[in-house]
Structure 1
Amino acid sequence: MSTASPLHWLQIVAYSAPTVGVGYMYLLIGLYIMKFSTDVLLISPAIMGTIFGISRVWDAISDPLVGYVSDRTQSSLGRRRSWLLWSIVPVAGMFIMVFSPPAGLQGTALVIWMAIGVIGFYSAMTLFMVPHLSLGPELTNDYHERSRLYGFRHAAYTVGSIIALISMQLLIDAEQVSSEKVRETAFELSTLAGLITAALITFAVIKLRERHDLKVRVGQTPFGAFKDVWSNPHARLVLVVTFIENIGSAVIALLTLYICQYVVGKPSLAPLIILAYMVPSSLSVPLWIPLSKRFGKIRLWMFSMMLTGLSFGGMFALPFMESVSDRTWLIFILAFFAGLSAGCGGTIAPSVQSDIIDFDEFKTGERKEGSYFAAFNFVQKSAIGVMILVTGWVLEFSGFVPNEVQTFGVQLAMVTLYGLSPLICYTLGTWLFSRFSLDAVEHQRIRSLIDARNEGA
């Protein structure tokens, strides 16, 4: 069965809609939960860094399991939509839990609550994210239509992230009142977000349709499936590049509020600085889709990686600048260009990953979207888990003190993680990815052979 024709707009909307809620949740967790924990709940950054590190390592284990099982799931809803349905309650419930620790909890009990909440949230998101990403390449085989599908998905995700900025500003404003006000506001916002995200996932389950010819196309054990992933030369290269990228970028979301408050000296501008990143990330998607057709997805993704590295690398200069005004202008300008590159990467990266899955089908005759996207998530979350753990301990041992003016040494430690590390890692990733060879011509050749084989079967 060929699915190379353009997707109907309703399918694109239904596929993209849940990521508005998911983008909201991920950004609010990524940007604010560390600050919420250290400044409001008074949990040490080392402990929270350890919790986040454990959660990402656990995700790296659970993602492959969910990916493999979803590939083999047989349900009247299909092998992906059934998982989306099952994810609704845990995604909403765990997000609310993270922002709603009882006021009476202190010490070890509070740490346990946050550990269960954080680890539970990321586990619940695995139930949604891996099957949802896996559904994308099943909706269309077309080389460039996939960029369109994932581009709108990225735009929807970014819209949710922008809405999260409003919530974050409300929480920052509440900090000026009292810790109790922050807790109250966090509970109200998380409950509303949980209900809306549940409704958007339900909409996707109802409106999306899956291909019946892909229901039972995986016959291996989990180890056999992931052996195929690693044996795929295109996948192996992208897995290595993904790991290196995320070693560099893992702490960007985590440290943005810290950079704005303790390095730039303008905590009130944090939402606007993040908005300067989010708006071009979302609005530039229609630009990258035609450019990918003209210059190719490989070149465009390389451009995205290099621009990301340079944009964040420039932020290493922040603590060396005397004027708050100069620091503010620099971070705004660099955030804009980092946002442009994020729009490109969010559109192109999953599209390239989908093409790699077609190469596996050409070699094995099986469709293992779940296993492949689980593998990509595995290396991403492993890198993030390591770096979040490192970040917590770096802050602890550099002498970080919450809600106080930081020493130059602490600021330097922050911008090393926030700026210098992304520059080094994205430069290395760009150089490695230059070896990638699955371009439009090669993909068309592979798809033609697959379609001919399937028609003759």
Structure 2
Amino acid sequence: MSVTTTPAKDRVPFLEKAAFGSGHLVNNLLPGALGVFSFFLLTAFGMDPFLAGLLGGLPRLFDAITDPIMGYISDNTKSRFGRRRPYIFVGAILSGLLFMLLWQLDPDASQMYNFWYFLIFSLIYLIGNTMFSTPLIGLGYEMTFDYNERTRLMGFSQVIGQIAWMIVPWFWVLIANPDLFETQAQGVHQLAVIVGIACIVLGIMPALFCKEVDQTNLDKREKMTMASVLENLKELIRNMKLIAQNKPFARLCGSTFLVFNGFQMVASFSYFIIVFHMFNGDYGMAGTWPAWFSTVSALATAFLIIPIITMLANKYGKRNAFIISTIISIVGYLLKWWGFSPENPWLIFMPIPFMVFGIGGLFTLMMSMTADVCDYDELQHGMPRKEGSFGAIYWWMVKLGQGLALVLGGLVLKVVGFDPALSEQTAQTMVNLRLADIIIPSVTAALAVWVMWGYDLSEERAREIKDQLVARRGEL
């Protein structure tokens, strides 16, 4: 149990927390909107499902390359504005503008024209988005060096970030509403502009109001010049090897991969179960129940679960808080069997307060623990500090899990016999789908608990490391 008071110099003011949270809102809103809008590639722009799948997968491969490079560049940048903030500012503007352009496809153009238009702009958009998101994550790891304040900061930012998931499910309803837009394509065009502008305004907030760590003692940073590209590449590879050998970080990545991958694999199943099990394939009767299910999940995560997890982490430690929250999420997954009831649709909200402990605890605690791991890495290997690189690799693991989940989720649907072209599914198919919806995330969550059982960066150890680093740097 923590009994240490956070020093004044390690407390993050409310304005900075709000600005950092604003950045996380953008970091959730962009991929959330991208996921919803991608559905309309098929219905509004006539894209072949296989080509649409390629448009979802190919950019992720590119993203996996750019993230570590941007993390390395951010870690080693020297400027009077800081290591992170210049990239966040420019990246936010580019992300918003390019997101708008990305979705200005022509519904009357050929399929291959739209395919290449979307693929090319996706790659360009990812450069801008990586320039924004990777330094933003690194900034969060260095805004405070206090064990508990890190959890409070990450918890607050996750609460703000959850607002995106309260909004995104309703994009389906808005775009497909003929009273708002003449066509779905028009809905995509106009809503993309609104999302892009919002992301620019909210995204520059961390660059304007968040303070970076004092750069005085950040020595041994590499020179970022065209002449030193080869040496920089060698150093990047060396950093990647050192990070891969970091055992506490490996546990964080492994458990994140399991929890997030298990959750994402079945994320779309709830929609199908609501429509085909609860309402017998009648989309009209299902109405807005799927959107409300997602929105209430986000509301519960933001205003109930994250505050509880932050309290648990400060009282019992981050590792124990993760184990407790993950076990509670398994209870929530099991309750879905009774919650998705054709007799009483309101019961779909019953599992939510338990189930969302999984994702709510995951990113709040893992981001806080990654900041502790950055201290541990500096103690082991010295300068330069590698917050950007750690953040890039961690989120690359998240994206890898998400990409794999999309593939495996489709495979599971095929194995259980689900056919979205049918207005009604067989009783056995729905039983199989409901079992998969419960068993898959429960098993991966249990495996994540096992992985994290040996995590040994406790609060006491983290504070010892912090004291040693302060003494090594010659700081007061």
Tell whether 2:339 aligns with 1:324: no
1:223-271 CA distance string (max 9 Å, x none): 1111111121111222222222233123344555444434443242112
1:306-325 CA distance string (max 9 Å, x none): 3334433554678xx7x523
Following the alignment from structure 2 to structure 1, what is the Cα–Cα distance between the partners of residues 147 and 244? 22
1:187-231 CA distance string (max 9 Å, x none): 222211211210122232122222223654445701111111112
Residues 358 and 26 of structure 1, relative CA distance in 2, 3 Å threshold: same
* AA partner of residue 442 (structure 1): R
Following the alignment from structure 1 to structure 2, what is the Cα–Cα distance between the partners of residues 414 and 115? 33
Residues 81 and 256 of structure 1, relative CA distance in 2, 3 Å threshold: farther
User: What root-mean-square deviation, in Å, do the aligned CA atoms of Structure 1 and Structure 2 show?
Assistant: 3.0
Query: Cα offset for 1:77?
Result: 1.9
Tell whether 2:299 aligns with 1:296: no
Query: Cα offset for 1:99?
Result: 3.6
Higher helix share: 1
Residues 127 and 430 of structure 1, relative CA distance in 2, 3 Å threshold: same
1:144-189 CA distance string (max 9 Å, x none): 0011111111011111221333433322434xx6995322222222
- Find the counterpart in structure 2 of residue 430 from structure 1: 449
* Structural mapping, 1:30-429, within 5 Å: 30=35, 32-174=36-178, 180-211=182-213, 212-213=215-216, 216-219=219-222, 221-265=235-279, 266-284=286-304, 285-312=306-333, 314-315=335-336, 324-326=342-344, 328-366=345-383, 367-392=385-410, 398=417, 400-402=419-421, 404-407=423-426, 411=430, 415=434, 418-429=437-448
Query: Cα offset for 1:370?
Result: 0.9
Residues 98 and 197 of structure 1, relative CA distance in 2, 3 Å threshold: same
Residues 3 and 373 of structure 1, relative CA distance in 2, 3 Å threshold: farther
Taking CA–CA contacts closer than 8 Å with sequence separation of 6 or more, which of the two structures ends up with the larger relative contact order? 1
User: Normalization by structure 2: what TM-score?
Assistant: 0.84
* AA partner of residue 274 (structure 1): S
The number of aligned residues is: 449
* AA partner of residue 205 (structure 1): A
1:59-116 CA distance string (max 9 Å, x none): 2222111111111122232111111122123311332244432121243233333434
Q: 1:243, 1:380 within 8 Å by CA — same for their partners in 2?
A: yes
Percent of residue pairs bearing the same amino acid type = 21
Following the alignment from structure 2 to structure 1, what is the Cα–Cα distance between the partners of residues 332 and 115? 36
User: Normalization by structure 1: what TM-score?
Assistant: 0.88
* AA partner of residue 24 (structure 1): L
Following the alignment from structure 1 to structure 2, what is the Cα–Cα distance between the partners of residues 217 and 414? 54
**143-152 or 256-265, which deviates more:** 256-265
Name stretches of at least 5 consecutive residues in structure 1 with no aligned partner: none
Following the alignment from structure 2 to structure 1, what is the Cα–Cα distance between the partners of residues 245 and 158? 29
Query: Cα offset for 1:389?
Result: 2.8
Following the alignment from structure 2 to structure 1, what is the Cα–Cα distance between the partners of residues 269 and 182? 24
Name stretches of at least 5 consecutive residues in structure 2 with no aligned partner: 1-6, 223-233, 280-285
Residues 253 and 123 of structure 1, relative CA distance in 2, 3 Å threshold: farther
